[in-house]
Structure 1
Amino acid sequence: MDSHDELKVLLIEDDEDDYVLIKTLLSEAVPGRVKLDWADSYEGGLNALSNLDYDAILLDYALGDRTGLELLYEAREKDLRAALILLTGQGGNGIDLRALGAGAADYLVKDEITATTLQRSIRYAIERKKAAIELKRYKDHLEELVRQRTSELMEVNLRLKTEIDERVEADQALRRSEEKYRSLINSSLDIIYTVSTEGILTSLNPAFEKVTGWKPEEWLGRKYDSLVHPDDLPKMVERRQRMLTGEELPPGEVRVLVKSGAHLLLEFQSAPLYAGNSIVGQIGTARDITDRKKAEEKIIQQNSFLKTILESLSHPFYVIDAKDYSIVHANSAATPGGLQPYAKCHSLFHRADRPCEGDEHRCPLQEIKESKKPLTTEHIHYDHLGGSRFVEVHGYPILDEMGEVSKIIEYCLDISDRKEIEEKLRRANDELEIRVQKRTEELADSNLALMNEIVERKRIEEALRLNEKRLEALLNLGQTSWASEREIADYVLEQQIKLTRSETGAIAFLDEEENILTWCTGIPNHSECPSVRAEDAGTWADAVKNRKPIVVNKSSNIEMDQRGLPFLSFHLQRLMSIPVFDGQGITAVAVVANKSEDYDQSDLRQLTLLMDGMWKLIQRERSIKALKSAESLAAIGRALSIVAHDMKTPLIAIGGFAKQVQRHIGKADPDWGKMKIVLSETERLEKMVEEMLDFSKPVLLQKSQEQISAILEESVAVTKPLADRKKVRLNIEALEPAPPLLLDRSRIKRMFINLLTNAIEASPEGETVRICYRRLGKNVAVDVSDEGPGIASEIRKEIFLPFFTTRTGGTGLGLPIVKKIIEAHEGSLEVLNTPRGATFRLTLPVK
C-alpha cells in the first residue's frame, strides 16, 4: 500500500461504540489517509458490499441474529478485491479457522486490538489480497495460454485425423475400384489385353481362353506376332507404331490363331497406355466377329436376292418415309428414269407438290398412318407422260419402337383396263336390269289375279277343314259321357284354343254369386288363382257384367285390363270371352286370347257351341253322381239302421250289468280296472251306434234365428276339457260381424263339436286351434284351422265318405255327418291345406 494513497475501509458493525473505537484506532494508525464507511446491520453490510472499490472490509462476527461468517460466505460470491478481516468480541471456539476457511484475510479479537495491530492487520490483509489477486491473474493467464495451446493441438490432431481417414478411405476406394475393374475384366465376354511397346503381351483376361482356347499363361511374356495371321501382321505392326506416337486409331479387324489351328476373325480397339506422360504400351479389347461376318454376308446375299425379285416385278414397288413422304427405295417399274434424290411420292405419281387432300381423293398413306393397319384401296396415279391410270394400292405400315408408323411399304397394280371392262359390264347389267324389271312387272300383273284366286281357294279350303274339325270336336264332346268334369273341361279348353287358333285360353267356373271359384287354363304348370269377384276383374269379365259375349280385336283400339286372368304374363292383343248360362245365372266363362288375326262370328259360334255342350255334359255327370250317391247313401243308411238297432239293446244291458258289478267291488279289487275298461268301451260303442243312427236317418231341421258366435262359444266350452288334456289352445276370432242365421242350433253345434274334436286330436301339444268367421257375400263363412300334419291331397275327396278314417278307433262317420248337416242347411264344406295344418271352411246362407 502506497503511503500517500487514501485507504478506503468498510466497517460492518451493529454496535456504535465499537464503530467509534475502530474509527479512533484507524485515525491513529493511518492519520489523515483513511476513509471509513459504516454499515450498522447485516442487510446494510450486504448492500455496501456491492461497492467493489474498498481496500479493506472489517466485519463483526455478531450481527444481530445473523453472523459475520454468513455474510462472509455471501461476499465471497461477489468476487471482492478488498481484504476481509473478521472482528469478534471473543476468541477461541474455532472461529478463527472457520473465518480463514471462508476467505478472511485475518482475524482480530476486539479486546486485543490496538492501532498498531489494526494497521499491521489491514496492511497485511491488503498485501495478501493483492498477492492473491496477482496470483489469480497469473493463473488465469497461464490457463488461457494452456487453453490456446490445447485448441491449437486439437486442430492439428483433427486435421491429422481427417487426413488419415481420407487416406484410409482413398486406399479402400482404390482397392474397391481395383476389385471392381478386375471383376469386370474377368467377367467380360470380350478379350481385354495389354501390350508393351515391343509387342509383348503383358496381361490377358479369362475371355482369351474362352475365345481362342489358349490359356493366358501360354502367351503372357511373348510377342503376339505368332498369334496374328501372316497376311495381317504388317498391318498390326504399322498400327502399333502409329499408336506409340499417340495417334488415335479406329477399330480394326485381324485374324488370330486359335488352339485348334484355325483362325478367327476378331474386331479390336486399342489405346495408348501411359505411365506419367510416357507411353509404355497399349491396352485394348477384342471380340469374335466370325458369326457376325457370316450373318452380314448372308444379309447382303438376301438383300441382293430381294432386290432382284423387286426389280423383276412389273408393277411399281417402293418404300416411303411416313414423315415427309420421301421415297426411300423403289424398283425400276416405279421409277423408269431412275430414283431422284429426295423424291416425294406425290411428286412422282401425282405431279403435285403436296399429298392428296379431301375425302373424294384421300391419300392412302394418311389413312395407314392414322389406322396403323394394312390398307388396300383404289387410287388414281399419273404416269411419266401425264396420263391418269386407275391403280389398286396395297400399303403396309412399319412401326418404330414407340409403336408409330415410320415407313410404309407400297405396291400398285394398274387396274385401268379392268375398270374399263367393269364399266362396260355395269352398263350392260343396267340395260338387262331394266328389261328384267319390265318383264317382271308384266308377269306380276298376269299372276296377281291367279294369286288372288289361289288365296281365296285356300281360305275356303281352310274354312271347310276348320268346320270339319269343329263338327268332329262337337261329336267327340257328345261321346265323353265316361269322363270326369275336369277331363271334360280340359278337352273343351284344348279344342277352344285349337279351333279358334288362339295362343292361350281358360275356363272360369263361377259360384251362385257369380264369383270366380276355379280356373281351367291352357298354361302348363300355372299356379291356382285366388277367388275373385267379377266386378273386380278386367276386360274379359265384361261378359259376366254385360251378360253377353265380348270380342276385343286390334282394330277395337281398346286397352285391355288383364286383372283376374291366370295368364298375366301374356301381353294380350286380341281377346274373346263368352258366358255360359244355367237358367238365368252364369256358371262359367270361356276366354281365348291372342289369335294371329281378328276373331270373327265363326269363332264366336264355335266357342258358344263348345261351352253349351260342355255344360250339358257336366250337368248330366253331376246328376248321375248325385243319383248314385243318394242310392248308395240310402242303402248304407238302411244297413246302418238295422245294425244300430241290433247293437243298441245288448250294449244297454252290458253297460247296466257292468255298472252293477263295479258298484259291488271296491277300487282295491284287482278287477276294478278291467271293469272300468269295459264301461269305457261300452260308452264308445254306444256313441258309435248313435252316430250310425244319426247318419241313417233323414236330417229334419228345427230352424230358428241364431247367432253363429254364440253357437261357436258353446262348442268351444264343450271341447275345452279335451283341449286342456291335449294342452291345445282354442281361439275364436270374428274377422267381420256376422248377421243372425236361420238354422238348427243343436245340429250346427254338434257339427262344430265334431270339427273341433278332430282339430284338437290333429294338433300337437302347445299349438292353437283357430275358429274364424266372417260375412262373405250372401253367406257366412266359418274356418276351423289346426296346426297338425294336414290332409294328403290323394285322400282329400275320400274323407267325407262313410267309414273312411285315418284314426285308430274312429267310426269314419264324423265328417260324413258334418257334410250331411251342412248340406241340409244348403251350405257348403271344403277342406284346404295351409302352410301349417288343415282348414275346414263351412259356408251357411244368410236368409
Structure 2
Amino acid sequence: MSEQEKQLSAQEVEQLQARAKKLAMEKSYFQLVMQMITRISETPGLENVIDSMLLNTMNVLGGSNLQLYYKIDEQLYYADVMGKKKQLVGYPDEVIARVYKTGREEEIEGGFEDTQLKTAEFTKAYTWVYPLKISSEVIAVFRMKNLHIDMRQLYEQLPAFFNFAALVLKNEILGQSRLQKINLQLEAEVATRKQTEKELRIAKDHLEAAVEERTAELREKSEELDLFFTSTLDLLCIADTDGYFRKLNPEWEKALGYPLDELIGRRFLDLIHPDDLESTLQAIAALSDQNPLLNFTNRYLHKDGTYRWLEWRSYPVASTIYASARDITERMKMEAELAERSAELKEINMQLSHELEERKAFIEKLAQSEKEYYALVHQLQVAVVVHDPDSSIHIYNDLACELLGLTPEQLEGKTAYDPEWHFFDEQGTPLKPDQYPVNRALVSKEAVRDLVVGVQRPASNDQIWVLSHANPIMSSGGEIVQVVVTFIDITDKVKSEEEIRRFNTELEQLVEERTEKLTETNKRLEGFNEIMAEREMRVVEIKQEVNLLSQQLGREMPYKEIWNALQEK
C-alpha cells in the first residue's frame, strides 16, 4: 500500500471519528432537550409548568438566573428560577420589549465574572433572550442570563424545546383565563387550540425529521413522542384518505367506548351518522386534494348506541391525514337548549314589552311631577332642605346653598351628623347633633318651630342667624318619609337687636355716670349755700353794729364805700 493510500485512510478515520463525536454530542444534546420537554409536560397547571420549565432549563444550561415574561389577557407577568413572581405594569427594559415586538431572539455578551464560575477565566458570559412563539404569535420571552460559551453548542437544539414550551405554556395560559370569556370567545379558543395542535404536529414532524436525519440512536426517542401523543386530552388520530384509522390516542376509547384495538385499522365511515355521511365524504375529498379541513363537525357512533358530536381539524400529507378532534356533544346540547330558551325568552320579552311601556308612561308622569316639585322648591323665597329618614340631603334650593355657604356638590348627600356642620344657640353655645332641628324632628316625630340657630359658614368664614322650622312628613304607617326644614335669614334682625341692647347698656351707664356727677354737684352747692347764709348773717350783724356806732357818734357812717359794697352784696 502506498504512502498516499495510508494517508488517505488516516484522514478518513479522522473524519469518521469527528463525525462520530459530533453525532454523540448531538445525541447528548437532543436527549437533554427531550428530557426538558418530558419534565415540563409532567406537571399540569400554569405555575407548575413555569417552575418546571425554569428549574429544568437552569439544571441543563446553568447561568446566574432564568427569567420568564408572559401575558394573560394582555397583562404582563414575571417569574424567575429564584421563585420570584409578580405582575408588571409594563416591559422592564427595551430588550424584552423589542423581542416581544419583533419575535426574534437576541444575544448579549458580558464579562467572564458574570458567569459566577470559580474557575480561571476562560470564556465570556452570554445572555440569551429568546421568544416562545406559536407561528408568529409571541407567547412569552425567556431570558437566560450569564451562560458560559460551552452552552452555545446546545443553541441550535433549543428551538424544538422552546416551540414545545410555547405550546404547553399557551395551553396553560388559556386555562388560566376567566370562565366568562370562555363562553363569549368559544370559537376563538377553538381556533387557537386548532392552531396550537397544528404547531404541535409541525413540531412533531420536525423532531421526527431531525431523528431520521441524524442517527439510528436518535430514532429511539420516537417512543417519547408517542408518550406525548398518548398524554394529550384531545382526540388525536392518523388516518388515510381511504377512510381507515391508522393510529389513535387513548382518549378515543373514553370518547366512543371502543377499545383501541377495535378502532385502529377500522373503516371510520362505518361509524358516521347516516345524515353526516355525505358531508364526511366531501371532507375526505377535500383532504385528498391536500386542502386542510378546519372546524368540520360530524357524529360518531358510541358503543352504547348513542352518537357523539366531534369537531375536527385535519391536515393532509399525501394520502395520510393528521387530525385532532374534540367532543362537543355537551356544547351542541347546550346550543339546542339555548335555542329553546331563546324562543321562551322571546315570548316573555313580548309580555314584558307591554309592561315596560306602562312603566315608562308612569315613570314619565312621575318625572314630570318630580320636576314640578323641584321647580316649586327652587322658587320659594325661603331656604328649603329636605332630609331622608337617615338625615341625608337630596333636595334643596339655591337659597339654602347660599345661606349655608355650601355648593350643591357639597350639600348633596350630606347628613345631619356630618362633623363639618357648626351650629350654635342664641347664647353662642355650640349645638350637639341631637339638638339640630332635623334630628329633633326625627326623634320626636313632631314639628320643631321658631328655633333660632347660628350657622358658621366655612367658605366665607362668617356667621349668620336663621329662624328654622323642621316639619316631618309621615307615611300612612306612621313612619317618617322626609323632614322638610325651612329657614330664613334673620342676621340683620339679630344684629339690630344686639345693637339696641348695646345702646341701652351704654345709655344706662351714661345716665348712671351723670347722676353721680349731679349728686356731687348738689352736695357742693349745699355747702356753698351754707357758706353764703353764714356770710349774710355776718353782713347783717356788721350793718347793725355800724348803724349803732353811727347813732352813737351822731355823724355819717364812715367808710361809705364799704357800706355801699356790702349793700350791693
Name the one with the larger helix percent: 2
Higher relative contact order (CA 8 A, sep 6+): 2
What is the TM-score normalised by the length of structure 1? Answer: 0.20
What is the TM-score normalised by the length of structure 2? Answer: 0.29
Greater C-alpha Rg? 1
